Amino acid sequence: MSDSSSNTSKQTNLLDHPRGAQTGQPGDRRAFSFETRTRLADSADGKGRNGARWGRTGTIHTPHGDIQTPAFVPVATQAAMKGVLPETIKELGGQCMLSNAFHLFERPGEQVLDEAGGLGRFMNWDRPTFTDSGGFQVLSLGAGFKKTLAMDVTGMKSDQVIAEGKERRAFVDEDGVTFKSPLNGDEHRFSAEISMGIQHQIGADIMFAFDELTTLMNTRSYQEQSVERTYRWAQRCVAEHQRLTAERVGKPYQALYGVVQGANYEDLRRHAAQQIASLDFDGVGIGGAIEKRIIGNTCAWICDEMPEDRPRHVLGIAAVDDIFACVENGGDTFDCVAPARCGRNGAIFTRDGRYNVKRAEHKHDFGPLEEGCDCYTCTHYSRAYVDHLLRAREINGFTLATIHNERFFIKLLDDIRASIDGGYFEDFRDQTLARYYAHGSRG
């Protein structure tokens, strides 16, 4: 289903013998690299400096295999995607997976993953893995927001903002963040050094520096303070990462990405990107709250300031138009929980837009979730059956809906990659978006 399958023979036994791991030696950094294959031509309407369009295809080389980019990264938050095995994600064409460092720290604990041989071995996934740093929990447990994009912040600027009905569970200071566990209320402490220690023990191929994630509702003054604090934390992350890499011999090299914050302010985004570019990172994470209307611009501002040999990961994006905007302006990899979470609630993504399979009209519909889809669900089960399972809250319903949605986004990025290499990106973008949004937003 994906051109990543052509690399299978080259990746044999990488779970047991990852590239760049030698007994008694630090991980070999040369096992991680990025190479560009095709770049979009600059244009008069390019959003980057002098009309630059930073969109490209390429290959991220990691100790556990290669990632052909642009690529969608399915999310296995707690070393698992709800209702779907890693083997299934591979069959869907998934090249890599991302897990959440904070949740794995809470359970089963990073020591367990270290003893198991790392995240990939723990969940029987023999391809590349990512972990985020715990920085997202600064927002989700602090301000209580689960989504950070396209916020309506008209007339709302407050550094004490919190989502309705939520309790503040994260408190930021210069050294780090104090968290109150959503599981049992226990108090935990994260800092740059603690996050690096946890992620090194989790053992993903790619990890992120600890950062402060703000909301668009925070004031300009606070955004400025946060960018500088994130930079200071980034410096500490690099130092601790280098120390742990040298100390933890016999392990494959783990790449470290710095994260660029700055909300919707161009000068802050450029400044933060310059700061991150000045440090010895392997890649960059484009993070934080971003207004939907300028999401492409934001990627371009950051890419203007970054070395081209560093891969760029856009955190938490899954709207189809946002993906196209971010790819065109430099995004290489994308992760989001939306395909699985929406699927469990009955929302199905298709080339003709999103719809809710639990609507009454589908109760007697014995066609597939999407005509022409090659996923296991669409080739074996009907809308009526998935509707029944979801209404009955059967686990199989979660599984079948998630399989389809994950395949939709994996294939979307595969097709975008082919369009850039084939020289027809603009036509593919325009046709895909026209078809997807022809009936407006549904579901």
Residue 427 falls in the annotated catalytic set? no
Angle ∠(300,149,314) on CA atoms, nearest 5 = 45
Query: Nearest Cα to 259, choosing from 319, 216, 323, 195?
Result: 195
Distance CA 295, CA 285 (A): 14
Q: Is 430 annotated as a binding residue?
A: no
Q: Is 133 annotated as a binding residue?
A: yes
The alpha helices in 67-118, defined as continuous H runs, are 86-91, 101-106, 110-116
Q: Is 211 annotated as a binding residue?
A: yes
DSSP 8-state symbol, 37:
E
For the chain, the distance separating the N- and C-terminal CA atoms, rounded to the nearest angstrom, is: 27
Q: Are residues 129 and 97 in contact, defined by beta-carbon separation less than 8 angstroms?
A: yes
Contacts of residue 416, defined as CB under 8 A and 6 or more positions apart, other chains included, come to 70, 323, 324, 327, 425, 428, 429
At residue 130, what is the residue type? F
- What would you report as the CA-atom Rg of the chain, rounded to the nearest whole angstrom? 21
> Residue 172, exposed/middle/buried by CB under 10 A (0-12, 13-18, 19+)?
middle
Q: Is 398 annotated as a binding residue?
A: no
Q: Tokens representing 188? A: 């935990």
Q: How far is CA 180 from the centre of its chain?
A: 24
How many angstroms separate the Cα of 381 from the Cα of each of 87, 194, 237, 366?
19, 46, 47, 8
The alpha helices in 163-294, defined as continuous H runs, are 192-202, 220-247, 266-277
Which residues share a beta bridge with 39?
A: 56
Q: Is 343 annotated as a binding residue?
A: no
The catalytically annotated residue of 66, 282, 322, 335 is: 335
Q: Is 342 annotated as a binding residue?
A: no
Q: Is 5 annotated as a binding residue?
A: no
Q: Phi/psi zone of residue 169: left (φ > 0), alpha (ψ -120 to 50 degrees), beta?
A: alpha
DSSP 8-state symbol, 34:
E
Q: Is 404 annotated as a binding residue?
A: yes
Q: Is 271 annotated as a binding residue?
A: no
The catalytically annotated residue of 132, 282, 304, 322 is: 132
- Give residue for tokens 């990172």: 281
Residue 126 falls in the annotated catalytic set? no
Which residues share a beta bridge with 66?
A: 61
Distance CA 13, CA 176 (A): 39
Q: Is 134 annotated as a binding residue?
A: yes
Q: Are residues 71 and 118 in contact, defined by beta-carbon separation less than 8 angstroms?
A: no
Binding residues: 132-136, 211, 261, 288, 373, 375, 378, 404
Binding residues for substrate: 132-136, 211, 261, 288
- Could you list the active site residues? 132, 335
Binding residues for Zn(2+): 373, 375, 378, 404
